[in-house]
Structure formats: structure tokens, C-alpha cells
């Protein structure tokens, strides 16, 4: 992971193999992950058609054969950091986009990378540079680039994104980023972010942002055995997890790469969120998060933990849970419910019930009650007086008997 200063952006870089993989080997190597995510059944329901996933990253290669026709290029908020005429590397962003919406190529599209939501579309929003780009230090050093994530989120929302993938992380969040996330959620956009790769050797890793901001789905990485990857951050912001070790994906210029990180896990969860939004486009971000978390597959005998959250995401189970939750509304409805868009002052008042009370009867009953209370108090005083008198008489008799006995 690359570190900037205190508010620096951390690109969750994958660990790449030396050299690209052959296209024909990619699909077969993806099978274990596809099974873990339960995609075979999920694709019978939806493949993500009609959904736009914004990938806020280092840029996406729109000409990769597994993504061609599915990528829309948005704004580049890193503009000016690289020298003029420099072509962006776009490795990390292309990799994430392929895991979300790769559609493969060749006969029946049986070769290359197949993403979780292969019929979804991608909006590429460039908010980071990769370390081999010449403007990397300039981008990390100059204050004018500190607000790029917040600007990227707002741009994605205004461009019609349904899901925003944030395979990026930083040490602290700015108020602008919190405001941008509130804006996105208010527009019904689901945000998914990486929990971070600083977990090795730590019981509790630092919180990463924007993953730790309320409303954002924070994703950890697991191995092929469904256990937390050693590098994956462990903290209470983690909501769920996904495979993040030895994950194959696409790179620029029709290449294929394999890597590990919470970046990859985040992209896979964003793909499942896209499937839910494709089937239930009006479902709120909170209900999408609930569908993902409540349907996650946890190892037998375990409950929520800060390493893997509620468990590993499963597309089939998530869609079934979303079907149940889709019957619920964000706001209450029915007789007697005040509509939230209607000012309370203008609500039609109900009939006013006037109760006539007999003041004379109330006075009589109050008098009777007071008299009874006084009578009870008087009776109590008489009892106390008689008891005290009886005790005095008993004492006199005892003294007389003692005097008589001593004579």
C-alpha cells in the first residue's frame, strides 16, 4: 500500500504476478471465486443490465476486449499532475472494473474475465495516480488534489451512478468527503469501499476512509478457505468480506493480471450490489447493505467479527434477501401516518371531542373523599392514643406488683 501524508490517499495496490496470464486460462481460474459468490444461480435472476457502477480509481481502459462497449469515461480529477501528453497507466482501475462488469470475449464470450455483473456499465472517474506515473509525487504533495475523492463522488452521483466502487483508502476523512457521501446516499447511491491492507500482525488495524464513514459498506478480504486474509484490516467498521487473494482480472492493453488486496474484494461486493440494484432499482442504500450483510455466509459456528464482518458475500442469497426487503418502504405508510413531505401545520385536523363534566358532582365526590380521608386520619390518631394509654397502665400495675413483693 502506498502512503501519502496524514490526509494522503492510499491506493490499494494488488500484488501482481510477473507477466500477464493467457486469456484462455482466465475463465477457468475464476471458477472458484464465481462459486464462492454463488453467481450461477444469481445470473438466472439478473446480470446487472441497466445499472451504472462508478469506479473511482486510476482510470479504466475502455478498449480492453473484456470491457469494450461497457465503459463510459467520466472526469479526470488528477488533471495537471502528469506532464502534458502523458498517457495514464490505468492498471488498477481497469482491474477493478473487470471484476465488476467484465463481459469476456470470444465465442459465446467464454474467454477472458467475467465480472460479477457482466451486463452492468462502468463510469470511469480518475481520482488517483499509480506510482509509476510521472506526476505521482506532484499529485501526492499538492493541496489542490486533496478534495478529488469528494469531487469524484459528487460527479459520479450527478452522472447517474447507482453504485460507487471505492477501492481506495486514506488515514482520515475530510468534511467534504463526508458531505459527498451524505449527498450520494440521499440520492439512493450505494457506496462500497475497501477496509484497507494494513492488518498484518495486528489485532486491530487502523480505520480506513472512506470505508469507515457511516453509510459506506466496508469490505475485508478472505482467502480461498473463507478465513481473513492476513493483510486485511480488522476493525469494527468491517461489514462483510469477499475473496481477495489470487484474484484474476484484466489490465490495460488486453492483458490479464493476478493480485491480492481488499481492492479486489471491494470490486466483487460492488458487483453484487449492482445485481441487487438491477433487480430492485429503487431499493435504498441502507436496505442494499442489509441484504448483503444479513445474507453473507459466515464460517460455521462464528458470528460477526471485526475481521470478516457478517461473513462472505453471496450473490444468490443476497438477491433472495433483497426480494424480502423490497417489500418494505423507507417511510411508513397507511392510515394515521403523516406524509414526510407534507408540513405538519397543514395536516387536516380530526374532530375535536368535547367532554362535559358535572362540576357539582365532582365537588360532592371530592368532599366525600376528603371527609373519608379525615375520618381515617382521626381513627388512626384514636388508635395510637389508646395504645399509648394501655402501655402506661401496664407499667403502673407492674410497679405496684414489684412494691408489693418487696414488703
pLDDT for 356:
75
Average pLDDT over residues 179-195: 97
The CA distance from 322 to 178, in Å, is 27
Between these two residues, 38 and 206, which has the higher pLDDT value? Answer: 38
Residue 13 lies inside a defined structural domain of this protein: no
pLDDT surpassing 60 at residue 17: no
Which pTM was predicted?
A: 0.79
Residue 152 lies inside a defined structural domain of this protein: yes
- Look up 263 and say whether it is catalytic: yes
Buried b (16+ CB within 10 A) or exposed e, 101-130: bbbbbeeeeebbbbbbbbbbbbbbbbbbbb
pLDDT surpassing 50 at residue 3: no
- Domain tally, the chain: 1
Q: What is the pLDDT of residues 306-342, one digit of tens each?
A: 999 999 999 999 999 999 999 877 666 777 777 666 7
The CA distance from 390 to 218, in Å, is 82
Residue 367 lies inside a defined structural domain of this protein: no
The CA distance from 314 to 50, in Å, is 21
The CATH number of the domain where 290 resides is what? 3.40.50.200
My answer on whether omega of the bond before 210 falls inside 30° of 0, hence cis, is yes
Judged on CB neighbours under 10 Å (0-12, 13-18, 19+), 163 is buried
Radius of gyration of the chain (CA): 34
Domain span at residue 286 reads 26-326
Give the DSSP H/E element, type plus range, for residue 321. Answer: helix 315-325
Judged on CB neighbours under 10 Å (0-12, 13-18, 19+), 190 is buried
Residue 333 lies inside a defined structural domain of this protein: no
The CA distance from 334 to 225, in Å, is 48
Of 92, 68, 118, nearest to 15 by C-alpha is 92
Residue 339 lies inside a defined structural domain of this protein: no
Confidence band, pLDDT 50/70/90 cuts, at residue 76: very high
Cβ atoms of residues 319 and 279 within 8 Å:
yes
The CA distance from 360 to 352, in Å, is 25
Residue 44 lies inside a defined structural domain of this protein: yes
Lowest-pLDDT choice from 75-84, 234-243, 329-338, 391-400? 391-400
Residue 138 lies inside a defined structural domain of this protein: yes
Catalytic-labelled residue, pool 58, 61, 66, 92: 92
Of 72, 30, 76, 77, nearest to 51 by C-alpha is 72
Average pLDDT over residues 101-128: 96
The CA distance from 25 to 18, in Å, is 16
- Look up 92 and say whether it is catalytic: yes
pLDDT for 330:
62
Confidence band, pLDDT 50/70/90 cuts, at residue 364: confident
Residue 212 lies inside a defined structural domain of this protein: yes
The CA distance from 219 to 232, in Å, is 9
The CA distance from 174 to 6, in Å, is 11
Between these two residues, 350 and 10, which has the higher pLDDT value? Answer: 350
pLDDT for 384:
82
Catalytic-labelled residue, pool 57, 61, 66, 198: 57
Buried b (16+ CB within 10 A) or exposed e, 261-277: bbbbbbbbbbbbbbbbb
Confidence band, pLDDT 50/70/90 cuts, at residue 166: very high
pLDDT for 348:
59
Give the DSSP H/E element, type plus range, for residue 259. Answer: strand 255-259
Catalytic-labelled residue, pool 58, 263, 270, 295: 263
Amino acid at each position: 500500500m502506498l502512503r501519502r501524508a496524514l490526509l494522503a490517499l492510499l491506493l490499494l495496490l494488488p500484488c501482481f504476478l510477473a507477466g500477464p496470464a493467457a486469456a484462455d486460462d482466465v475463465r477457468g481460474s475464476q471458477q472458484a471465486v464465481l462459486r464462492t459468490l454463488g453467481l450461477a444461480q444469481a445470473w438466472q435472476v439478473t446480470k446487472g443490465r441497466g445499472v451504472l457502477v462508478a469506479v473511482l480509481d486510476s482510470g479504466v481502459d475502455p478498449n480492453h476486449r473484456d470491457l469494450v462497449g461497457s465503459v463510459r469515461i467520466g472526469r479526470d480529477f488528477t488533471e495537471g499532475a502528469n506532464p502534458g501528453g502523458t498517457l495514464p497507466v490505468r492498471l488498477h482501475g481497469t482491474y477493478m472494473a473487470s471484476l465488476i462488469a467484465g463481459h469476456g470475449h470470444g465465442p459465446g464470450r467464454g474467454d477472458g474475465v467475467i465480472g460479477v455483473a457482466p451486463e452492468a456499465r462502468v463510469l470511469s472517474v480518475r481520482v488517483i495516480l499509480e506510482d509509476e506515473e510521472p506526476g505521482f509525487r506532484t499529485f501526492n504533495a499538492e493541496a489542490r488534489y486533496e478534495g478529488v475523492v469528494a469531487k469524484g463522488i459528487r460527479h459520479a452521483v450527478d452522472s447517474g451512478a447507482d453504485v460507487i466502487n471505492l477501492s481506495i483508502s486514506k488515514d482520515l476523512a475530510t468534511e467534504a468527503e463526508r458531505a459527498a457521501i451524505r449527498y450520494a446516499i440521499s440520492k439512493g447511491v450505494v457506496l462500497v469501499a475497501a477496509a484497507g491492507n494494513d492488518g498484518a500482525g495486528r489485532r486491530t488495524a487502523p480505520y480506513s476512509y472512506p470505508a469507515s464513514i457511516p453509510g459506506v459498506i466496508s469490505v475485508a478480504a478472505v482467502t480461498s478457505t473463507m478465513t481473513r486474509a492476513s493483510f486485511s484490516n480488522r476493525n469494527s467498521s468491517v461489514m462483510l468480506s469477499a475473496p481477495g487473494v489470487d484474484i484474476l482480472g484484466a489490465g490495460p492493453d488486453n492483458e490479464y493480471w493476478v493480485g491480492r488486496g481488499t481492492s479486489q474484494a471491494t470490486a466483487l461486493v460492488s458487483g453484487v450490489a449492482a445485481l441487487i440494484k438491477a433487480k430492485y432499482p429503487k431499493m435504498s442504500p441502507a436496505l442494499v447493505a442489509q441484504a448483503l450483510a444479513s445474507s453473507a455466509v459466515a464460517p460455521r459456528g462464528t458470528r460477526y467479527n471485526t475481521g470478516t464482518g457478517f461473513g462472505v458475500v453471496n450473490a444468490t442469497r443476497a438477491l433472495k434477501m433483497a426480494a424480502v426487503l423490497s417489500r418494505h418502504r423507507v417511510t411508513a405508510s397507511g392510515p394515521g401516518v403523516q406524509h414526510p413531505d407534507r408540513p405538519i401545520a397543514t395536516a387536516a385536523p380530526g374532530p375535536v371531542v368535547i367532554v362535559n363534566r358535572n362540576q357539582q358532582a365532582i365537588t360532592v365526590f371530592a368532599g366525600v373523599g376528603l371527609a373519608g380521608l379525615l375520618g381515617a386520619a382521626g381513627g388512626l390518631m384514636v388508635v395510637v392514643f389508646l395504645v399509648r394509654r394501655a402501655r402506661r397502665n401496664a407499667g403502673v400495675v407492674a410497679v405496684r406488683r414489684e412494691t408489693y413483693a418487696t414488703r
